[in-house]
A and B are shown apart, each in its own frame.
Chain A
């Protein structure tokens, strides 16, 4: 067994256990902390796949910005068991059934996935220089047009945040 495989298994176990912890822990703060752990483990997987840029962005954006936002929201809302809306058993049952069906569909689809499509690509594809090459040649149009998206989001943030 080479060291990459060992690290992969360790990371996979951490990611799965923490993901289960997100769902099962009673305290929302613990949930968020588990989620951060999951994100770090997944970032480790990205590193194993030689995608450094994705790993760094994943940590900065998800584990950093979004999770801090989550924590703030949870602390501000001051949630506890009494204020939690009660779901009827029927709704829970329906949720489990439909979620389970979706799981089966996705599993069936992924089972037939062709790994050849992935392995055909060069392993350096995730390096920053390659990413820049692709981003500024092949994907230049969506790159530029996404500026409209961010501009409107910024306008919105100012509009909503500003005092009248």
Chain B
């Protein structure tokens, strides 16, 4: 809960500092420092839990705080790697950073809500700044299209979410996810319809098939620096909210019997659509957009699993996927040509950058000794635990094998194809290289020793 207050207040502080401070470097410094402080403030709550707020609609347990720490840590890495690229968006640097802070406020609510009302607020606080950031390049038509498409689709899916919440409230008479008592013998059809609507709304927000159609266009059209954040921290927060809701409110055996198959089919469709479409992409940015759909498919597997293993898996996945994707996007932003051809010869010209990029791509594929492997391992074993899901796990493994093709194609282009990569001038500084290598090391460290994340769970 410290995180929610701190990020909201610091966002306002940033808005004001944008009024008085003209220097872009100073504003970037404030934003980065604030993110470090937010990380500390959030960590403080882990050791000194405070009282809940009146109304009891938010309860930050250790899992919530751990996820907040992952989200804040990834955003810190993101600010350090790509903070300078925010200047591409336009003049109003402080406002863009402030919007990211507001998103993180929503992320904090999404990880600790106990009331459906707070879930709705969290999803909206996360979404609205994203619509703005996606359209921040006002003279870029693709950015406008991305923003408008995202806004219209997002507003539509919010309608489903609200309808689901209303139906659940109408049947149970409470917003509190812990007090719905759905485990009784008879099941109200209102509840089932409500759950169905909630699944539709939330699947939309996390970009799972068959509600994924906005994802490639929005991720491709939005400025790369924004996409990098939308596809990682925000998506992971959506999954945390999804898993939190379903594992607390709808985990009684007679209820899971009704929705597990729906979620399993959504996972299967997401995996198939994401992976097989990513294979045919020419642009690396669009490939990463489809790869984010396929990774979402793996995260949905945790929802099929529902249990402690699922929580381990989703937290590891959030860390592994966010770090790797933020790193891969930080490299992408520095390229002039977003196609595979543009990466040719990067291994010779910028060996360190290419090496780090390779580690990120290996992690996204799920090669052992990287964080992605451990994340996939936990998520898949959680799905296996719930019997009868062997077919889904096998399908997921096949899809992981397919994903190797498009990730390795980029590695192949970097190392084994001759060419002169066009890198934006003066963008690869020694500090950037150092940070990129540090991020890659972090990815490997989590892969070798997942306890780095998981030991913090109670």
Contact = CB atoms under 8 A, between A and B. Distances in A.
Interface string B44-62: 0000000001110110000
Nearest to B122: A145
B190 A113 contact: yes
B102 A140 contact: no
B54 A105 contact: no
Contacts of B188: 109, 112, 114
Interface string B85-113: 00000111001001100100110010000
Contacts of B57: 141-142
Nearest to A146: B121
B128 interface: yes
Contacts of A160: 132, 135, 138
Contacts of B102: 148, 151-152, 155
B189 A108 contact: yes
Contacts, number: 96
Contacts of B124: 149
Interface of A: 105-106, 108-110, 112-114, 117, 137-142, 145-146, 148-149, 151-153, 155-156, 158-160, 162, 164
Interface stretch (B166-174, B402-410, B423-431, B435-443): B166-174
A105 B125 CA distance: 30
Contact of A145 (B125, B171, B190): B125
Contacts of B192: 109
A146 B170 CA distance: 23
Contact of A164 (B58, B138, B189, B193): B138
B156 to A, nearest CB: 14
Nearest to A112: B189
Specify the main secondary structure of chain B where it touches its partner: helix
Contacts of A145: 4, 8, 105, 109, 118, 121, 125
B55 A155 contact: no
A124 B377 CA distance: 55
A156 B99 contact: yes
B257 to A, nearest CB: 18
Nearest to A111: B189
B15 interface: yes
Contact of A142 (B12, B117, B138): B117
Contacts of A153: 128
Given A155-B129, A156-B132, A159-B90, 19 more contacts: A105-B193, A112-B190, A113-B171, A137-B54, A137-B55, A139-B55, A141-B118, A145-B105, A146-B121, A148-B8, A148-B102, A149-B121, A155-B99, A155-B102, A155-B132, A156-B131, A160-B132, A162-B92, A164-B139
